[in-house]
């Protein structure tokens, strides 16, 4: 830890766009501290959902880690058999996956080429993060989270048992019906689904990239240079999987937290006042500034919207900056207010834990409320009071 010491960085030789990129990333980094990453989410509405999404990725990573370690540790196993060229398996199907397995299992590992290690990682990542995986995650992190935002909008309180009952109901295929009843603008859902699928695909690509690089660098230094002790690879893999688990947790918190907030805002009528809560350990300077802000819901197409006092469906910080300065020529110039991050409908940045609460009572939607009451098994004794936010530092 640096203890707030001042460090000077010479940005003089950088171009304007490189300077802006550097400052943007530094200010974003200030907002994305990892403190308490695995702490349960503060909102009872999405807490279990986020744990479920976290579990999907953690299980896949755990299976992948076990299998990959197993393969790498039986370096001398198996007989060499007639092997087809790896290029034959570029496009994946169950048949081709089986052929890849036979090929790899049949080749003595001391004869493996670099391309065989690449193929092994492709094969295992394909097995644990199949092409259907992004859509499965988006179903939870977008559709179910948006419905939970609607549930928050129309209810005064929720128990953990009720949240569990809803999740069980969704798992039986009722998400679409709930979403239709919630009347959330479908473009918000559609954009959220596409966005989430891209992020999950990006995650599995990063899994492949990081594992391949780690193995190839290790194998090269062992085979060509005779460096590295035998257990060095296991240690590196352990570190990589630890980092990947943290990346996945950030994704679960971000995707579900974003859509629950968007679903909540979309469910509130125009004119309603909402209060922003950013009351959790590790809130960044920007989020501390917006904590407690009261805003009014307006139509997304209202003219001259006020970014400080108004909120609307889909309001976000795309195209705005976290950095207060930009570089023009050789000088740093202060950005205007309209260029800077403002209070968004969703999250301010990845794995932010911001929430909304209504200033005066829930929204009314009889049809949705009746549907909801049919799927709750309320236990009065467990009811959580109005504020809906549990004490921090659990």
CB-count burial class (<10 Å; 0-12, 13-18, 19+) for 167 = middle
Out of 352, 355, 363, 372, the only residue in the binding site for Zn ion (CB under 5 A) is: 352
Residue with tokens 């290790």: 218
Number of residues that bind Zn ion (CB under 5 A): 5
Phi/psi at 297 (5° precision):
-75, 130
Task: Write the CB contacts of 265 (distance below 8 Å, at least 6 apart in sequence).
Answer: 149, 274, 297, 311, 312, 313, 315, 345, 356
Q: Which stretch binds Zn ion (CB under 5 A): 59-67, 116-124, 140-148, 287-295?
A: 287-295
Phi, psi of 212 (to 5 degrees): -60, -45
Least distance CB 284 / Zn ion (angstroms): 3
Nearer to Zn ion, 166 or 290 (CB): 290
DSSP label at residue 384: P
Binding status of residue 31 toward Zn ion by CB under 5 A = yes
Using the contact rule CB under 5 A, the part of the chain among 43-51, 283-291, 295-303, 317-325 near Zn ion is 283-291
Q: Which is nearer to Zn ion, 272 or 276 (CB)?
A: 276
Interacting stretch for Zn ion, rule CB under 5 A, among 81-89, 99-107, 244-252, 278-286? 278-286
Residue 252's nearest CA partner among 144, 154, 389 is 144
Q: Does 290 bind Zn ion (CB under 5 A)?
A: no
Piece in contact with Zn ion (CB under 5 A), picked from 26-34, 84-92, 130-138, 219-227? 26-34
How far, in Å, are 165, 174, 318 from residue 371 at the CA level?
Answer: 13, 11, 35
Instruction: Kindly state the smallest distance separating residue 343's Cβ from Zn ion, in Å.
Output: 11
Pick the piece of the chain touching Zn ion (CB under 5 A) from 27-35, 136-144, 307-315, 372-380: 27-35
277 near Zn ion, rule: CB under 5 A: no
Nearer CB in complex with Zn ion: 256/284: 284
Contact residue for Zn ion among 284, 295, 345, 347 (CB under 5 A): 284
**Residue 200 belongs to what H/E stretch?**
helix 186-223
What is the nearest approach in angstroms of Zn ion to the Cβ of residue 351? Answer: 9
- Comparing CB distances to Zn ion, the nearer of 94 and 285 is 285
Backbone dihedral angles phi then psi of residue 159, each to the nearest 5 degrees: -100, 165
Does residue 287 interact with Zn ion by CB under 5 A? yes
| Cα angle, residue 103 at apex, residues 97 and 109 outer, rounded to 5° | 125
The yes or no reply on residue 267 touching Zn ion (CB under 5 A) is no
Identity of the residue, 196 or 287, whose beta carbon is nearer to Zn ion in the bound complex: 287
Tokens found for residue 2:
């640096």
DSSP-assigned states of every residue in 271-292: T-EEEEE--STT--HHHHHHTT
By CB under 5 A, name the binding residues for Zn ion. 31, 284, 287, 348, 352
């Amino acid at each position: 830890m640096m203890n707030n010491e001042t460090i000077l960085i010479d940005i003089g030789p950088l171009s304007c766009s490189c300077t802006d990129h550097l400052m943007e990333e530094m200010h974003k980094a200030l907002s994305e501290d990892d403190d308490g990453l695995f702490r349960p989410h503060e909102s009872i509405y999405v807490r279990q959902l986020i744990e479920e999404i976290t579990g999907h990725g953690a299980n896949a990573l755990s299976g992948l880690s076990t299998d990959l370690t197993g393969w790498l540790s039986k370096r001398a196993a198996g007989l060499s058999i007639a092997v087809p060229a790896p290029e034959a398996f570029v496009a994946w199907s169950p048949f081709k996956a089986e052929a890849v397995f036979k090929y790899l299992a049949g080749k003595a590992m001391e004869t493996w080429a670099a391309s065989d290690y690449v193929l092994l990682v492709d094969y295992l990542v394909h097995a644990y993060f199949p092409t259907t995986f992004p859509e499965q995650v988006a179903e939870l992190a977008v559709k179910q989270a948006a419905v939970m935002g609607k549930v928050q909008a129309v209810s005064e309180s929720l128990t953990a048992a009720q949240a569990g009952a809803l999740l069980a109901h969704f798992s039986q295929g009722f998400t679409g019906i709930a979403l239709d009843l919630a009347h959330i603008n479908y473009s918000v859902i559609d954009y959220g689904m596409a966005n989430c699928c891209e992020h999950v695909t990006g995650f599995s690509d990063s899994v492949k990239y990081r594992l391949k690089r780690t193995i190839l660098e290790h194998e090269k230094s062992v085979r060509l240079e005779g460096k590295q002790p035998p257990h060095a690879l296991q240690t590196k893999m352990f570190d990589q999987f630890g980092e990947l688990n943290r990346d996945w947790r950030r994704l679960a918190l971000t995707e579900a937290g974003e859509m629950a907030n968007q679903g909540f805002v979309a469910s509130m009528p125009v004119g309603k006042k909402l209060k922003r809560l950013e009351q959790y350990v590790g809130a960044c300077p920007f989020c501390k500034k917006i904590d407690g802000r009261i805003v009014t819901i307006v139509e997304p197409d209202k003219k001259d919207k006020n970014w400080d006092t108004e909120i609307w469906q889909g309001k976000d910080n795309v195209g705005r900056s976290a950095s207060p300065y930009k570089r023009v020529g050789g000088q740093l110039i202060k950005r205007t207010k309209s260029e800077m991050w403002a209070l968004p409908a969703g999250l301010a940045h990845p794995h932010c834990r911001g929430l909304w609460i209504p200033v005066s009572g829930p929204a009314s939607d009889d049809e949705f409320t009746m549907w909801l009451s049919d799927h709750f098994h309320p236990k009065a004794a467990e009811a959580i009071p109005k504020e809906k936010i549990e004490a921090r530092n659990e």
